[in-house]
Structure 1
Amino acid sequence: MSTHQLELPALHSNDPLGFLAALGVLELTSVALDQAVRLSWRGLAAPAVLHTEHPLTLDELTELLVGFLPHEPGKELLPVAPGILGLPRHTAPGSPNDGLRMPIEDAHQLLRGFAAAERLHNDHRARWFAALVNQLCITPAKKVKDETQQEQQEVNDQSDHIRQKGPVWYTESTPLFAASGRMTLTNNWFKAAEQCCRDEAHVRTALTAWIRVADYTGANLDHRSTGDAAMTSDGKPSQQGVPGATWLALHAFATFRLTGDATTSAATAWDTSAELPALRWPIWTPPLTRTAISALLEHSVIRGVDPAHATDALTELGVIGICSATRTKLSNSYGPFEPGRMLWP
């Protein structure tokens, strides 16, 4: 079956934000058109290409994507999988400040319900929940250092109950998002969606020519959003993120399968072999669907230590390059991705 091609000139294969944003476009377009939309790349450090059954212009694509913007960002941030980003935070002492980090028993119960809805009604939420809530890595509640006397009394009153059940273990979220300070994935999603709702042109410029917005952080997906003094017109440091590209990139998280070893959170294409973790991804030329891309990201050849020893296998897969972007390190957390670098060829 012949397909029609649409180049996305601002989304480059060797850039972590561009790569993730292209996957986000594929995710949302596949849902909007209800067909096997495909994605490829023009080459190394080259734009993404969207393949559809019928012709699609940049204006038409922008309109499709804008249709996924939340009508009220404060109420529902993820219309394609409603309710997940609005999950309430667990309020027990020492619990995380992120609603996606919940007691493991709650996560199991929610996933069972979403999986049943998927079987019965083709509901999308099970896939999204599994991509944002990592149940293969759990951490205990933090010890509360400065509890008030009343809080301490409440804990004492429940001591017998606590001893019976043991500590509460909380899920982690996706490692693709680096939370610094009191950042959460939900509030960063809100900030990106809010900017795009305020000016829908951000969605189109994400595809064609990025426009940076002062004082927008960029969800730690883009090293250029840190905006040091040399990058600003007034010579003063300022955050300068790209709201449209960031909003699209956050939707790419559904492509990555979460993994872990109970204590360390990981994901497909997440490389933890060095001191700092890194996003590792292939550049391919054959048009691939979401499912095929997920399989490629997980392929042992892509994740191998030295891709130069697997040139023939990579070529057979249609891969022309492998890139990596390492997380930066802040004082108490990880920061934005460093620029993408070519691991192979």
Structure 2
Amino acid sequence: MPTPTHQLELPALYGSSPLGFLAALGTLHLTTHLLDEAPRLSWSGPDAPAVLHTHQPFTHQALARLLATQLPTQPDKDPLAVAPGILDQPRHPEPGSPNDPLQMPIDEALTQLRRHAEAERDHDDNRAHWFTSLINTLSLTPGKSDKSALPKNKSAIHGTLYTRTTPYFGRSGQMTLPNNWTKAAQHCLKDPTHLHAALIRWQRVDDYAGANLDHLSTGDAHMVSHGKATQQGVPGATWLALHGFTAFRLTGNTNRPQATSWDTTNHAFTWPIWHQPHTTTTLATLLEHPDTRNHTPNPTRLHNLGITALYTAPRTRLPYGDGPLEPGHPIPMQPGRLRNSKPTATHRTTLKQEAG
């Protein structure tokens, strides 16, 4: 694969911010879908912006226009244009079913997954990948009526079991993954400058909640000029970040869900920043490497992987559900070993071998 020759720094997408990091991943995945030659992603350094590497030159305006081609024409009907038919699910009518339509009975989910997998084999369709990055068919939860009706000493295994969704989406109140995707897309369609702003300087919108990926979207009264608490989300960055969810593989066993880069013990998102440019394929290998999830990171091993920093952002809690992710906190490592370090041949060999 030829090496990209053009670089575009994305000043608003800082690696130390969970929303910025996810939006950079979404940008990489969307441009991979749109360009003939695979783009790559790297970072200017720890606590620094993302850099998109492409085979053709882009300005921020041109990149924003390219990304905008993936906005849905009717977001209220199907908000995921890159993989139609995933987010337009109706809520299951059975009493006690979850509010989010992506939490569907397991039999229905497996039927859909088989259909998407067959389309992937026969027609190189991408919907199986999107389905499994948003809907976890390997870890199940009982419906509300199943929980309340069961005696304390009985298992819920005999009731209707529903799929879980990606832990990267924090659900509060009546929020669902499809309606969050819809609202972000609607804002970007109404004002096309949101995608350009997502790349260079975030544009916050009053009364837009985002998808619980950004702690500043909570809009405390002391943070706004009119002195009243209000939601202040970033529609463009949120829309890109939702597409970044496809970078994280969902696994688990019945009642213990797992996801790449998600710490189920602390309910925290933990992610690396790297120097060497990565495609979506090699990035998947890097994100799933055991050393990126180590609570006591080994600086030498991380250096050999080209990693320059590790961050973590726990999920906050609200009285009515999940809260936004906290700001990214750097995970302490041995001083002077990683900052501004460059990758070695060991890093390139390691990732090549692990990617197969």
Matched-pair contact (CA < 8 Å) for 2:141–2:162: yes
- For the residues of structure 1 that align with 2:148 and 2:304, how far apart are their CA atoms? 59
- Could you say which residue in structure 2 is the equivalent of 1:211? 203
- For the residues of structure 1 that align with 2:101 and 2:252, how far apart are their CA atoms? 20
1:98 to 97, 100, 115: 100
CA RMSD in angstroms comes to: 1.6
Please state whether the residue corresponding to 1:301 is helix, strand or coil.
helix
Q: Does 1:168 align with 2:170?
A: no
Please state how far the C-alpha of 1:139 moved relative to its aligned partner: 1.1
Please state how far the C-alpha of 1:331 moved relative to its aligned partner: 1.6
**2:243 maps to amino acid:** H
2:138 to 117, 136, 146: 136
Please state whether the residue corresponding to 2:291 is helix, strand or coil.
coil
Tell me: CA distance 1:212–1:145, structure 2 relative to 1, closer, same or farther (3 Å). Answer: same
Please state how far the C-alpha of 1:311 moved relative to its aligned partner: 1.0
**1:52 maps to amino acid:** T
Q: Does 1:321 align with 2:313?
A: no
- Could you say which residue in structure 2 is the equivalent of 1:155? none
Q: Does 1:257 align with 2:249?
A: yes
- For the residues of structure 1 that align with 2:159 and 2:292, how far apart are their CA atoms? 39
Q: Does 1:201 align with 2:203?
A: no
- For the residues of structure 1 that align with 2:292 and 2:99, how far apart are their CA atoms? 35
Please state how far the C-alpha of 1:333 moved relative to its aligned partner: 2.1
Structure 1 gap segments, 5+ residues each: 148-164
1:231-273 Cα shifts (integer Å, max 9, x gaps): 1101110000000000000000111000223213221000123
- Could you say which residue in structure 1 is the equivalent of 2:319? 331
Tell me: CA distance 1:194–1:314, structure 2 relative to 1, closer, same or farther (3 Å). Answer: same
Please state how far the C-alpha of 1:145 moved relative to its aligned partner: 10
Please state whether the residue corresponding to 1:112 is helix, strand or coil.
helix
- Could you say which residue in structure 1 is the equivalent of 2:343? none
Tell me: CA distance 1:36–1:215, structure 2 relative to 1, closer, same or farther (3 Å). Answer: same
1:72-103 Cα shifts (integer Å, max 9, x gaps): 11122111100100011111111111111111
- Could you say which residue in structure 1 is the equivalent of 2:269? 279
Calculate the TM-score normalised by the size of structure 2.
0.88
- Could you say which residue in structure 1 is the equivalent of 2:293? 303
**1:238 maps to amino acid:** T
Please state whether the residue corresponding to 2:12 is helix, strand or coil.
strand
Count of residues in Structure 1 that have an aligned counterpart in Structure 2? 324
Matched-pair contact (CA < 8 Å) for 2:16–2:311: yes
**1:210 maps to amino acid:** W
1:218-297 matched pairs, under 5 angstroms: 218-274=210-266, 277-297=267-287
Calculate the TM-score normalised by the size of structure 1.
0.91
Structure 2 gap segments, 5+ residues each: 150-156, 334-356
- Could you say which residue in structure 1 is the equivalent of 2:330? 342
**2:94 maps to amino acid:** A
Larger deviation, residues 238-247 vs 94-103: 94-103
Please state whether the residue corresponding to 1:89 is helix, strand or coil.
coil
Please state how far the C-alpha of 1:142 moved relative to its aligned partner: 1.3
- For the residues of structure 2 that align with 1:87 and 1:202, how far apart are their CA atoms? 27
- Stretches (4+) displaced over 2 A: 144-147
**1:180 maps to amino acid:** S
1:32-43 matched pairs, under 5 angstroms: 32-43=34-45
**2:134 maps to amino acid:** L
Matched-pair contact (CA < 8 Å) for 1:93–1:144: no
Matched-pair contact (CA < 8 Å) for 1:260–1:266: yes
Please state how far the C-alpha of 1:304 moved relative to its aligned partner: 1.1
1:18 to 20, 32, 37: 20
- For the residues of structure 1 that align with 2:147 and 2:280, how far apart are their CA atoms? 46
1:165-204 Cα shifts (integer Å, max 9, x gaps): 9421100010110111111001111110111010010000
